[in-house]
Structure 1
């Protein structure tokens, strides 16, 4: 595998997060403008988000690992896949990329370049949903990398597509995306007041997944012989 230097990897994280957020926000605006049926609008938002994740992870993954998510980068830092010296640059690229993605989406739809979101997303059900959504995302990534690396783009895209519908929060599962969505007063927005609890829930879900999967994915000798079912 070709090794890319840090500036190229951070550029890939910036670009991927920007395009992800532009898709989330832009498809939400488009869907909301085409129908007054909330379920149909959410479906349009869901399909676009799942599709762009498959594309972005496939094309940019070989460069940076395609985290596009501070929670994912933190997990890879903790399991020593991402060096500590690279973590701040990854996080910066993701957060800035997310904000730029919102700006691009607004500009494409002739809205103010940034707005303060007014959509309330708060309460225990929402926080649990974000914990579950991020737990599942990180678990899917770690298991996918362990057993079927080439399938990771599809695994993540399909998981997020499903999580839009089985979680009460519609599965942000990403602190950078959550911050970016606090700057759009559209279909996909979240009030800045509700943002800290979402981020805490996301980081908690990621930490729980990292802990459980760190144990679950570590094969142990069975009767002195390593189980073949535990290896890819």
Structure 2
């Protein structure tokens, strides 16, 4: 991939992941303040905002690059949709974007730029939830990519994540960049540092299982957009 195109893709991934994390953390803070006595309502508000922003961001940035998720990018590498250099650059941009997003979200709500979360998450149920959430996300992404209407991906992913907030016990982090970033906000959406490594491992396991299912279910690879194939 030529350098200008790779730069554009990296910037798109950084900006998209930053907005995604800002939406996840920011809507969590807003929900906590607006509905202080109803955790279920807080989760509903958080999930709707996250699903909606995913649709918008994917639609806006998909012509350039719109994974916003290291495990999705790694599965793209496994499936041969991107090369190793591109995958590394995009993952790096996603991680930086997540950190930018969480700082911006904290500052927007007049909190310290960084506050380490004390929200412990874990246990076998929640870890299984992360495997399920990530596996399902990979299936949705790479299944929807086979649709003749590319905008299908945005609505499929946004809908899946909004639902997975509810049907998985972990509330569907399913994204290493978002998981690491949420460690830096001691708010509704935060996750304690000690809980992060097991979540990351389960996300990789889920992505690997999802990639295996994609290869089993789909005999031919999803088409690569013309610009990406240059």
Matched, 1:167 2:186: no
Displacement of 1:83 after TM fit? 1.1
The farther-off stretch of 116-125 and 148-157 is 148-157
SS in structure 1 of the partner of residue 194 of structure 2:
helix
> 2:226 maps to which residue?
none
Q: Is the 8 A contact 1:125 1:168 kept in 2?
A: yes
Larger radius of gyration between Structure 1 and Structure 2: 1
| CA distance in 2 between partners of 1:79 and 1:110 (Å) | 43
Q: How many residues align?
A: 216
Deviations 1:55-106 (A, max 9, x none): 0000101101x11000000000111101111111101100010011000001
Per-residue CA distance 1:22-64 (angstroms, 9 max, x = gap): 0000000000001120000111001100000000000101101
Matched with 1:15 is 15
- CA distance in 2 between counterparts of 1:48 and 1:147 reads 25
2:223 is aligned to: none
Distance 1:131 1:182 in 2: 19
**Structure 2: which 5+ runs fail to align?**
221-230
Aligned mates of 2:125, 2:176 — CA distance in 1: 18
Q: What is the alpha-carbon root mean square deviation over aligned residues?
A: 1.2
What do residues 179-220 of structure 1 show as CA deviations (whole Å, max 9, x unaligned)?
00011100000011010000010011011011111111116x
> Could you tell me how far apart the structure 1 residues matched to 2:213 and 2:6 are?
30
C-alpha separation between the residues in 1 aligned to 2:45 and 2:167?
Answer: 16
Q: Deviations over 1:115-137 (max 9, x none)?
A: 11100101110110000000000
Contact 1:69 1:94 in 2 (8 A): yes
Instruction: Report the Cα offset of residue 152 of structure 1.
Output: 0.5
Aligned counterpart, 1:52: 53
Q: Could you tell me how far apart the structure 2 residues matched to 1:41 and 1:207 are? A: 32
Which residue number in structure 2 is paired with residue 200 of structure 1?
201
SS in 1 for 2:160: helix
Gap runs ≥5 in structure 1 = 220-232
- 1:132-143 to structure 2, matched below 5 A, reads 132-143=132-143
C-alpha deviations, 1:123-155, integer Å up to 9, x for none? 110110000000000000111012343301000
Task: After superposition, give the CA deviation of every residue in 1:162-181 in whole Å (9 maximum; x if it has no partner).
Answer: 00000011000000000000
What is the alpha-carbon distance in structure 1 between the residues aligned to residue 63 and residue 138 of structure 2? 19
TM normalised by structure 2 equals 0.92
Aligned to 1:186: 187
User: 2:224 maps to which residue?
Assistant: none
Give the 4+ runs in structure 1 shifted more than 2 A: 147-150
